[in-house]
């Protein structure tokens, strides 16, 4: 999550200037610093910002090779040409709502919050836009309780206050929130249930790629259970105790059964009509932090997912219902 989001900025209003403070591990060349923080910019692009005077150090123009020191303040003026085709506002599909929580049914392909090259048309920006429009209460902005990758579909919890988000953070840390995903794995599983208890860490200085890292990784546990076997794939339910980046995808690949269509951790070959990796956040269960009610929320498998299974089994599938149980 970006520093800007942690400051509770209204994401319905575009950023005009980025302000970054150099920390001790980040000392070094000006252009290298910008490249690390502006992941969507190449080094040549960062140098162009510096030469044009749109990126400055302590308010002054500097050369790309300037050495930055701890405490230096870097500002970047954001100039965005109008897009040829503005990204559409994301569809907001609500599965559950009360005075404290929203449970959304996210479509695959929707970006949850501004990151990297995806600075417009995100789900959180649309939620902020709606919250900032009367008759919404002033100054109250939704907060993500957890995140989903761009191409993961399904349940996404959103808090309506800092207190609710803080309560859920504690519940997640204590393992009091049960999250179950649906996935299609490559290969026919020879087991009924399997637990992967392997720590996960990043690959080098990559901001994206993760791996099992028994030396420096963070604790991660995933429980896989077979739902249906096909000739060359397996439908599994996956209950996770931790929420590491790409956890299910990394653990599935570690077992030698990557998610179908996973371009990072598998062969990337997707089923016809299902051009993404096969992962859906299907169920979440918890005791409501404000009311104390036992709550279970379900997200039905999207049609492309069920059609992919039809293709794998060669027969129609029964419909599944979604909703909330109190």
**CB neighbours of 122 closer than 8 A, spacing ≥ 6?**
11, 90, 110, 111, 112, 113, 114
Residue 129 φ then ψ, to 5°: -60, -45
Residue 271 has what DSSP assignment? B
Catalytic residues: 149
**CA 321, CA 95: separation in Å to the nearest integer?**
12
Q: Which helix (H) or strand (E) holds 176?
A: none
**CA 282, CA 65: separation in Å to the nearest integer?**
49
Pull the structure tokens for residue 10.
């209204």
Distance of CA 128 to the CA centre of its chain: 17
**CA 112, CA 106: separation in Å to the nearest integer?**
9
Which of helix, strand or coil describes residue 127? helix
Q: For the chain, what's the residue count? A: 326
**CA 142, CA 15: separation in Å to the nearest integer?**
18
Measured CA to CA in angstroms, residue 192 lies from 188, 195, 235 at distances of 11, 11, 11
Which of helix, strand or coil describes residue 251? helix
Residue 86 φ then ψ, to 5°: -55, 140
Distance of CA 205 to the CA centre of its chain: 19
Pull the structure tokens for residue 188.
């026919």
Among residues 292, 274, 280, 297, the alpha carbon closest in space to that of 94 is found at 297
């Amino acid at each position: 999550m970006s520093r800007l989001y942690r400051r509770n900025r209204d994401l319905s209003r575009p950023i005009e200037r980025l302000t970054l403070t150099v920390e001790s591990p980040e000392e070094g060349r000006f252009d290298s610093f910008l490249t690390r923080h502006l992941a969507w910019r190449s080094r040549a692009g960062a140098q162009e910002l510096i030469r044009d005077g749109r990126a400055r150090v302590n308010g002054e123009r500097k050369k790309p090779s300037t050495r930055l020191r701890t405490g230096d303040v870097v500002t970047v003026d954001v100039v965005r040409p109008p897009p040829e085709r503005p990204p559409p506002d994301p569809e907001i599909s609500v599965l559950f709502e009360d005075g404290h929580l929203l449970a959304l049914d996210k479509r695959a392909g929707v970006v949850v919050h501004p990151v990297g090259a995806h600075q417009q048309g995100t789900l959180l920006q649309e939620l902020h836009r709606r919250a900032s429009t009367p008759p919404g209460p002033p100054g109250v902005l939704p907060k993500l309780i957890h995140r989903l990758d761009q191409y993961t579909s399904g349940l996404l919890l959103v808090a309506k206050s800092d207190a609710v988000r803080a309560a859920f953070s504690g519940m997640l840390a204590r393992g009091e929130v049960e999250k179950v995903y649906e996935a299609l794995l490559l290969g026919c599983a020879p087991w009924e249930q399997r637990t992967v208890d392997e720590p996960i860490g990043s690959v080098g200085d990559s901001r994206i790629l993760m791996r099992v890292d028994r030396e420096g990784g963070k604790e991660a546990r995933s429980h896989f259970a077979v739902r249906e076997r096909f000739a060359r794939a397996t439908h599994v339910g996956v209950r996770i105790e931790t929420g590491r980046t790409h956890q299910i995808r990394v653990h599935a690949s570690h077992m030698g059964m990557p998610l179908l269509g996973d371009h990072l951790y598998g062969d990337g070959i997707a089923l016809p009509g299902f051009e993404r990796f096969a992962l859906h956040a299907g169920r979440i269960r918890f005791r409501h932090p404000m009311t104390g009610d036992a709550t279970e929320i379900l997200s039905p498998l999207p049609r492309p997912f069920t059609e992919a299974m039809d293709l794998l089994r060669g027969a129609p599938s029964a419909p599944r219902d979604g909703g909330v149980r109190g």
